[in-house]
Structure 1
Amino acid sequence: MASSTVTSAQPPPQPDRPPRPNLVFRQLRGRRSPAEFAAAVRRAAREIGERVSCDARYVGRVETGEIRCPNYAYERVFLHMFPGRTLTDLGFAPRSSVRGRRARTGATAADPVVPVSHRPEPVAPEGETPGTARPYDRGNPYTHDDHEESDVLRRAFMRGGTATAAAASLGPLGLALDAAAAERPVRRCGAGALEEAVRQIRLLDDRHGADGLYRRAAAPLRAAYALLDAGAMRQATADRLYAGAGELALSVGWLAHDSGRYDDARSHYAEALATARMTGDPALEAHAFCNTAFLARDAGRPREAVRAAQAAQRAARELGSARLLSLLALREAGGWAGLADRVGCERALARAQALFDRGPAGADPDWMSFYGEAELAGLEAQCWSALGDWPRAARHARRAVELQDPHFTRNTALYTAELADDLARGGRPDAAAAAGLRVLELLGEVQSTRVRTMLAGTARVLLPHRGAREVSAFLDRHRALARTA
């Protein structure tokens, strides 16, 4: 392990030197997957009142040495997680060695160029002079414009009606989005800002659900496509912008999906799929088909759900992620369940479980951080529910609730609503009412039309049992909530 006595006197590395892997940090992660470690980082942040958008990709960037020194929020979290250590003990470079790096002058013939009508102006960090923009790293297209240390592009994007500003102001957090600012043209931003927007939107959705987020999230999506219209300086940057815009379209589409705006969701998913096909991005294509399959199932088009899930599996076949294929098999199972094809559903469920058991891998997409044992159990519960096997559905739904990471508040509410509905339809009204009351408590923090719709269906099933004390309490509270919604 690096000594804590290392000082900042050592000279910074040359811009073209490849990043040095952070083996210390990788050792500290241990046997946890990047997504699991990222979840631990977010939990540690909440313990000390910090808010960080840590995901598997961020962990990977630290371990490969792309992030040589974290920003101050991450620093506080890491030092909380590993008390008694310094940043250098954790394998990071001293902060003073990564500030004020000079840009490399001149491009090389090896750098592919995308024709542009006008190019974004470089933006200097706050408190620094122009000309200190970060160097390009030709060895890694994901390093040249968004080091975590100063978040230059993120702040630039914020000044232009940005994705991060919009995401940070979404929903039940109670902050208003400046609609006029959101319409201003975005001129000074980059792919890092798009990726941060996607992370922020997903984190807010995990905690609060989609209803308060969707309309505000449309502003960063417009900004993303304004970036693409403006052009990019390098091919690597252009590819990254397209991938970021596609993922953002999927995130916004999911917000529409979860808030019951199915036509809007279908449009956003189609937009992401077109972007994936245009750029030859199989990972984005698999994600777009995955969401399309889920939407088709919820919209009552089970055969389309099966076909979309199968198309997603074809796109994902060479990506090297068993967990992704497991999730896609579950999407297929949901379609078969909607078709009342028990055999097809059981085969897909068995395949999903076998693929899941292979464990996590470095190729698992960042957006799949939600997919663990809890989600596997929750999606299987939905399949058995669609097939009318209420006791089996309730067992899986209860397991999903028990296994769910507390960070995913929305999913906790969803699984508990699923459990309440399965119990009600399975002839256990008192237990269903108790689960329904737990969902009502979570709805103060979660805004999801999908969860509310499920709970309304449960209330209708429980009406004949209103003479029972707990059922009556649930129905009264549900009625009061419906009046204020």
Structure 2
Amino acid sequence: MTPLPDPPSPRPNTAFRRLRGPLSAAEFAASVRRAAREIGEQVSCDARYVGRVESGAIRCPNYAYERVFRHMFPGRSLTDLGFASRESVRGHGAGPVPAPAPGAGASVDVSEESELLRRAFMTSGAAAAAAAATPLVPPPRRSGHRVGEAEAAAVEEAVRRIRVLDDRHGADTLYTHTAKPLSAAYALLDAGGYSRSVAARLYAGAGELAISAGWLAHDSGRLSDARSHYAEALATARVSGDPGLEAHAFCNTAFLARDAGRPREAVRAAQAAQRVAERLSSPRLLSLLALREAGGWAWLGDRGGCEGALLRAQTLFGRGPSDADPEWMSFYGEAELEGLEAQCWSALGDWGRAADHARRAVALQDPHFTRNIALFTTELAADLAQHGTPDEAAAAAGRALRLMDQVTSSRIRRMLDNTARRLRPHGSEPSVADFLDRYEAADRRAPAMSPAPAARPRRA
């Protein structure tokens, strides 16, 4: 099918770009998230969202973003910030909105959907909010109807929502909720009838959804499901010629291979990701990929290979953020660098060095990333237990246990279980005994660790 001509290009939002100033898109996105927390809002702002605002693709923000922007820039109206008025975008005052043609499918209002999700998140927790995300990706319209900007935006917003919920809560309550948006995204691709620009966004969005599903499967202990999702994302990247998506898929494949006990595969996948990422002008991405390689070398017991990859990661990280940094890398800051290095030293058996890096990772972590705070605190406890300091290990494990009231991650929970087992021989020490009592009480309240996995989310 011959692609339809592209729609006219949106008008860049130069006013908003001026407000960003010297900050990179990723740094500005982080400041938006911090401002949101100050007023009790929940927004999934990242570098790509900032880029879409500045390009004019987002003519008017949803209500949650509007409140955050007004908080950040008091006294400025939406038009002062470079946006169109809400009435002009939503058609208020422009006469009655015609009903959709029979069979044309429901229209998608992403702004209103975002507000509904925010309310669900605030009142009902992660599972309800994840369920609220599933209508975001609309079904394909009947033959002859164009798949356009609204559908592409819906896929992209579904990816952002899933990531924000995972940052806060971990994977266990979210994984099964990825089935509907993932299948709908690929069904939209199969429907055809879209322009080249929309096609590029749909391929990228569907691939990122597949990676998100893979990560949630990985973090909830469904490693074979994760491997299949990453393979699907890699195939999507290859078909669409998207090096950013391909690098992301290889990055996560490397991480999964390491955790699945295939460290040589982890090295190969990380190296493949680096070859692809050389085209993307993002030192931070190359830094993360070097860390993935370092993890593989560490699990192979190759200290020299690990140290070489760590040095590259640190050097590349030191070059700073860039506008070319992918939006999914919003989690990758100094805390993540420290945490991943801690994992390397732990795998090499250098427990004291691992604990030092894990301690820094906890101290540096952005409060938005509750799941990662729980992860690095759990790693710190494990390293301290191996290092022979049970009192400190029990204190760290107790902090991690409290965080597990907010985070549902089978991967982190298994790590905490292993630390508890290591500490039991030291149960005569009061601090250790106190932790073990609280751990066992929490364990009795917790659901079974490994329920039979639900059907793996698949494309239609």
TM-score bucket (shorter structure): 0.7 to 0.9
**TM-score, normalised with respect to structure 1:** 0.81
**Superposed displacement of residue 387, structure 1:** 0.3
Structure 2, unpaired ranges of 5+: 1-6, 101-106, 142-146, 447-460
Please say which of residues 187-196 and 424-433 is displaced more in the overlay.
187-196
1:170-213 CA-partner distances (Å, limit 9, x unpaired): 97344684999899955386111111000000000000000000
Q: How does 1:234-383 map onto structure 2 within 5 Å?
A: 234-383=195-344
| Conserved 8 A contact 1:409-1:446 | yes
**Superposed displacement of residue 76, structure 1:** 1.0
| Conserved 8 A contact 2:203-2:240 | yes
**Superposed displacement of residue 54, structure 1:** 1.2
**Superposed displacement of residue 225, structure 1:** 1.7
Question: Cα distance 1:183–1:241, how it changes in 2: closer, same or farther (>3 A)?
Answer: closer
Question: Cα distance 1:179–1:406, how it changes in 2: closer, same or farther (>3 A)?
Answer: closer
Question: Across the two proteins, how many residue pairs are aligned to each other?
Answer: 426
Partner of 1:19: 11
Structure showing greater relative contact order (alpha-carbon pairs closer than 8 Å, 6 or more residues apart): 2
Partner of 1:172: 126
Are 1:227 and 2:188 matched, yes or no? yes
Partner of 2:455: none
Question: Cα distance 1:16–1:177, how it changes in 2: closer, same or farther (>3 A)?
Answer: closer
Q: CA RMSD in A?
A: 3.2
**Superposed displacement of residue 330, structure 1:** 0.2
Q: Distance in 1 between matches of 2:87 and 2:112?
A: 23
Match of 2:97 among 124, 128, 152: 128
| Conserved 8 A contact 2:137-2:155 | no
| Conserved 8 A contact 2:169-2:406 | yes
Q: Distance in 2 between matches of 1:395 and 1:85?
A: 45
1:450-483 CA-partner distances (Å, limit 9, x unpaired): 1101111111111111111111111111112222
Match of 1:152 among 104, 108, 124: 108
Q: Distance in 2 between matches of 1:400 and 1:469?
A: 27
Q: Distance in 1 between matches of 2:425 and 2:216?
A: 34
Q: Distance in 1 between matches of 2:119 and 2:276?
A: 33
Match of 1:76 among 67, 88, 93: 67
**Superposed displacement of residue 157, structure 1:** 9.1
| Conserved 8 A contact 1:164-1:197 | no
Structure 1 counterpart SS, 2:311: helix
Question: Cα distance 1:126–1:283, how it changes in 2: closer, same or farther (>3 A)?
Answer: farther
Are 1:54 and 2:45 matched, yes or no? yes
| Conserved 8 A contact 2:338-2:361 | yes
| Conserved 8 A contact 1:324-1:368 | yes
Question: Cα distance 1:372–1:479, how it changes in 2: closer, same or farther (>3 A)?
Answer: same
Question: Cα distance 1:271–1:473, how it changes in 2: closer, same or farther (>3 A)?
Answer: same
Q: Distance in 2 between matches of 1:259 and 1:42?
A: 26
Counterpart residue type for residue 35 of structure 1: A
Counterpart residue type for residue 253 of structure 1: G
Identity of aligned residues (%): 68
Question: Cα distance 1:156–1:276, how it changes in 2: closer, same or farther (>3 A)?
Answer: farther
Q: Distance in 2 between matches of 1:324 and 1:406?
A: 22
| Conserved 8 A contact 1:154-1:164 | no
Partner of 2:440: 479
Counterpart residue type for residue 296 of structure 1: A
| Conserved 8 A contact 1:465-1:471 | yes
Structure 1 counterpart SS, 2:198: helix
Partner of 2:384: 423
Counterpart residue type for residue 425 of structure 1: Q
Question: Cα distance 1:93–1:234, how it changes in 2: closer, same or farther (>3 A)?
Answer: closer
Match of 2:35 among 41, 44, 52: 44
**Superposed displacement of residue 91, structure 1:** 3.4
Counterpart residue type for residue 378 of structure 1: G
Q: Distance in 2 between matches of 1:324 and 1:172?
A: 29
| Conserved 8 A contact 1:55-1:366 | yes
| Conserved 8 A contact 1:69-1:98 | yes
Structure 1, unpaired ranges of 5+: 1-14, 102-124, 132-150
Question: Cα distance 1:168–1:288, how it changes in 2: closer, same or farther (>3 A)?
Answer: farther
Q: Which has the higher helix share?
A: 2
Are 1:192 and 2:146 matched, yes or no? no
Question: Cα distance 1:232–1:153, how it changes in 2: closer, same or farther (>3 A)?
Answer: farther
**TM-score, normalised with respect to structure 2:** 0.85
| Conserved 8 A contact 1:167-1:201 | no
**Superposed displacement of residue 156, structure 1:** 10
